[in-house]
Chains A and B, each alone.
Chain A
Amino acid sequence: MNYFSAFEISASGMAFERLRLDVTAMNLANANSVRDAQGNLYQPVRVVGKAGRSFGNYLQQAVVPHIVAAAQAPRLVHEPNHPLADAQGFIAMPNVNPVDEMLNLVTAVRGYEANVRAMNAARTMALRALEIGAR
């Protein structure tokens, strides 16, 4: 562990929040997509963060992201005129919850900001340390 560890912890937090934002954007972009040619429907994904293995080793990430696809029942939309609609006029769409996604969006942005602040604070502290004994 060296004095860069604070930076690296914040950097891994920033990467994690960015990944959450990417995943949220992907969920939103696929909210209205339908089954592909193989019949697979898009599954909404979530990023789950696990705390890094050890705090001391700065080469390891402080947050380890895991992308999990929640196997959820599709959302059935009644759209009889749709070319892919079934006999009852329903079409399966990914179960993306717009409210959850917007919440994720906001918390990811705020989390990212917090990590940037933490990094700037570490930088300010280190610069203050360099002023020890300065005239």
Chain B
Amino acid sequence: MSIEVIAATGAVAGKALSAAGALPSRPAPEASFETWLVQQFSATNAKLVEADQGVRRLALGEADNLHQVMIALEEAKLQFELVVQVRNRLVEAYQDILRMRI
């Protein structure tokens, strides 16, 4: 699966947020949400790759134990779902801002 699409969405949403932060009346946020989001994306990608490698090792018959493979898969799944939900909320927020009457 490709995470670049989601990453792109995140970047757009991040820009929208920083645009909102750049309003003259509000101070700029000190810890960037965008940085956190990008970190989460790369962490998710790493988890997915790790889980996938675990499955390959299992199929090759050299998995040390089953629970580590299963835990890696489950962690990857949860991490992925978390990122997807964050992305969904961001898109919702973006659309809310878009619909706002000025």
Count of chain A to chain B residue pairs whose CB atoms are closer than 8 Å in the complex: 25
Main secondary structure of the interface of B (DSSP, over half): helix
Q: How many residues of B contact A (CB 8 A)?
A: 12
The answer to whether B27 has its CB under 8 Å from any CB of chain A is no
Identify B63's interface contact among A2, A130, A132, A133, CB under 8 A: A2
Given A2-B61, A2-B62, check contact A133 B74 (CB 8 Å): yes
Q: Which of B63-100 contact A (CB under 8 A)?
A: 63-67, 70-71, 73-74, 77
Q: Could you tell me the distance between the alpha carbons of A132 and B72 in the complex, rounded to whole angstroms?
A: 10
Besides the known contacts A130-B66, A132-B74, 8 further A-B residue pairs in the complex with CB atoms under 8 A apart = A2-B63, A3-B64, A129-B66, A129-B67, A130-B70, A132-B71, A133-B70, A133-B74
The answer to whether A1 has its CB under 8 Å from any CB of chain B is yes
